[in-house]
Amino acid sequence: MAAEAPTKAKKEAQGTVILGRYELGKLLGHGTFAKVYLAKNVKSGESVAIKVLDKERILKSGLVANIKREIATLRRVRHPYIVQLFEVMATKTKIYFVMEYVRGGELFGKVAKGRLKEDTARRYFQQLISAVGFCHARGVFHRDLKPENLLLDDKGDLKVSDFGLSAVSEQIRKDGLFHTFCGTPAYVAPEVLSRKGYDGAKVDIWSCGVILFVLMAGYLPFHDQNVMAMYRKIYRGQFRCPRWFSSDLSKLLSRLLDTNPQTRITISEIMKNRWFRKGFRSVRFYVENDELHSLDDIDDHPAEQLSENLRDDGSESGNESDSSVASCPAATSSFSEKPKLGLPRPASLNAFDIISFSQGFDLSGLFEERGEEVRFLSGEPVQDIISKLENIAKVVSFTVRKKDCRVSLEGTREGEKGPLTIAVEIFELTSSLVVVEVKKKAGDRGEYEEFCNKELKPGLRNLMYGSANIANDNSDTDRD
């Protein structure tokens, strides 16, 4: 009878509709505090994975803070190679994480059948590093990277999952390090074993090195049936590369599995490594309507994308975007011929917002800076503003992408935080005035500020409403 209980529970779960939105299907897996089910969106029919957690067990185990942190973390790291969290729901007894369903299973399943070909292993490693670097740039550290937590989608692309042990930069102690002992024994870094504190980014890089070794060799670099003996090997960095490893790969692994975290290779150095760079292509994406989209797909079908964004009569589709890089480079329609084309008129742009844009009630120029965001008022035609942005981009060799009245300027220089990406959006205020909003969407803040001060602000100054008066009034001091 005892053996029948779990089976009965599984059958009862199947077919259950959660909050009238998702119908539970088969059990995909389970851990100590959660079960993961395949489910179907009742309205769209889309397949999702739902992680079900028991509230009472979480409370008793003191894991409420961990759950909150995992939710915040998954919201912070939205990337094509990271499993997406769509929404979180709750009842009196359960918490439900509605997540992307990744059909291909664990990468561990592939490795269990034997070592991978070098090009295949390299491709997975490139995707892993892209995802991990993205996390680190946003102050998120996974701390439990291993093949079992790397899933494969139906296209064969990698998806990093299970951020249950992740940490964020806000948790770093005064000494600048983490101190929680966590991770899977075979993949844990030596500095974690020392229990003296560790750098979350360096620990993830070590785990990536172990994963790369496993993909290429088919077995672990540090292995022993006795866990303490294995820890000693890890602490001393005792491993040997098989004879089929190329010299470039062996050199990279020696940097990845460097027992000294201070001299261990960094993400930016990995990105420049010769073995890593072979066939590497940066993932390019943007977020629209709370969904990830590939820029490469748009570039391949610009005309189709344009027809989706604009109706036959040239009016707006109402498809707003909060993307870090806008789409549709083919959108070159004349704004003078169709002045309403692509002019967003958000309901939030009311008198109260206009006043809040400026300091006090002085609307001359409406120039304001808010950290990584700048707004100003302009009386120039929209097309002239966009042309000016294109000219500025040419000077610094930035890529320009346009969609309606949204323009994205994207740099080419790669760094730990990726290329600098600036989004510009133009709002119609009156028939003769527009508000231009400039935001940093990706990249290093210092690089953004330098670009704004040296290129963007001087280039756009003449487009600001009342710029002649501002220039005269501020001949000795610069408001920027």
Q: What is the DSSP string of 301-357?
A: -HHHHHHHHB-TTS-B-------SS---TT----TTTSTTTT----TT-SHHHHHHH
| More reliable by pLDDT, 398 or 295 | 398
Query: What is this structure's pTM?
Result: 0.64
What are the strands of the beta sheet with 34-41, ordered from one edge?
Answer: 17-18, 22-30, 34-41, 47-54, 94-100, 85-90
DSSP string, 416-453: TT-S-EEEEEEEE-SSS-EEEEEEEEES-HHHHHHHII
Flag whether pLDDT at 376 surpasses 90.
no
* Confidence band of 413 (pLDDT split at 50, 70, 90): low
- How far apart CA 293 and CA 322 sit, in angstroms, is 12
Flag whether pLDDT at 407 surpasses 60.
yes
Flag whether pLDDT at 130 surpasses 70.
yes
**Active-site residue, from 54, 119, 144, 153:** 144
Give me 111's structure tokens: 């490795």
* Mean pLDDT, residues 10-30 taken together: 81
DSSP, res 96: E
Least confident of 40-49, 269-278, 310-319, 392-401: 310-319
Least confident of 11-25, 39-53, 92-106: 11-25
* Confidence band of 7 (pLDDT split at 50, 70, 90): low
- What is the predicted pLDDT for the residue at 65? 82
* Mean pLDDT, residues 296-301 taken together: 47
Flag whether pLDDT at 177 surpasses 90.
no
- What is the predicted pLDDT for the residue at 360? 41
pLDDT, tens digit, for every residue of 180-222?
888 889 999 999 998 889 999 999 999 999 999 999 999 999 9
- C-alpha closest to that of 237 among 274, 281, 193, 278: 193
Flag whether pLDDT at 399 surpasses 60.
yes
- What is the predicted pLDDT for the residue at 16? 86
* Mean pLDDT, residues 463-467 taken together: 69
> For residues 139 and 161, is the Cβ–Cβ distance under 8 A?
no
* Mean pLDDT, residues 390-415 taken together: 81
pLDDT, tens digit, for every residue of 44-85?
999 999 999 999 888 888 888 888 888 888 888 889 999 999
- How far apart CA 469 and CA 480 sit, in angstroms, is 15
Flag whether pLDDT at 15 surpasses 60.
yes
Least confident of 285-289, 291-295, 307-311, 410-414: 307-311
| More reliable by pLDDT, 232 or 437 | 232
The CATH-assigned architecture of domain 286-473 is 2-Layer Sandwich (3.30)
Mean pLDDT of the chain: 77
Flag whether pLDDT at 98 surpasses 90.
yes
Binding residues for ATP: 60
- How far apart CA 248 and CA 268 sit, in angstroms, is 17
Flag whether pLDDT at 346 surpasses 80.
no
Flag whether pLDDT at 456 surpasses 80.
yes
- C-alpha closest to that of 418 among 51, 117, 129, 66: 129
- C-alpha closest to that of 339 among 404, 412, 269, 246: 404
* Mean pLDDT, residues 242-264 taken together: 96
- What is the predicted pLDDT for the residue at 13? 62
Flag whether pLDDT at 326 surpasses 90.
no
Flag whether pLDDT at 468 surpasses 50.
no
- What is the predicted pLDDT for the residue at 371? 55
In this structure, what are the phi and psi dihedrals at residue 418, rounded to the nearest 5 degrees? Answer: 80, 180
- What is the predicted pLDDT for the residue at 289? 57
- How far apart CA 145 and CA 207 sit, in angstroms, is 6
- What is the predicted pLDDT for the residue at 41? 93
> For residues 480 and 467, is the Cβ–Cβ distance under 8 A?
no
* Confidence band of 405 (pLDDT split at 50, 70, 90): confident
| Residue located via tokens 């963007």 | 456
Give me 63's structure tokens: 């894991």
Q: How many CA atoms are closer than 13 Å to the CA of 64, on its beta-carbon side?
A: 5
Measured between alpha carbons, how far apart are the two ends of the chain, in Å? Answer: 76
> For residues 309 and 315, is the Cβ–Cβ distance under 8 A?
no
Say what percent of the chain tops pLDDT 70: 74
* Confidence band of 363 (pLDDT split at 50, 70, 90): very low
| Residue located via tokens 């259950």 | 16
Angle at 292 between CA 39 and CA 302, to 5 degrees: 125
Flag whether pLDDT at 238 surpasses 60.
yes
Angle at 383 between CA 472 and CA 420, to 5 degrees: 80
- What is the predicted pLDDT for the residue at 253? 97
Residue ranges of domains in the chain: 4-100, 107-277, 286-473
Task: Tell me the residue length of the chain.
Answer: 480
Q: Hey, how many other C-beta atoms are within 10 angstroms of the C-beta on 349?
A: 15
- What is the predicted pLDDT for the residue at 359? 45
Beta strands in 211-341 (DSSP E): 285-288, 291-294
Say what percent of the chain tops pLDDT 90: 36
Q: Which of 69-83, 298-312, 464-478 is modeled with the greatest confidence?
A: 69-83
Flag whether pLDDT at 11 surpasses 70.
no
Burial class of residue 327 in the structure, from the number of CB atoms within 10 Å of its CB (0-12 exposed, 13-18 middle, 19+ buried): buried
The fold adopted by the segment(s) 4-100 is: Phosphorylase Kinase; domain 1 (3.30.200)
Q: Known catalytic residue: 473?
A: no
Which CATH number is associated with domain 107-277?
A: 1.10.510.10
Flag whether pLDDT at 155 surpasses 70.
yes
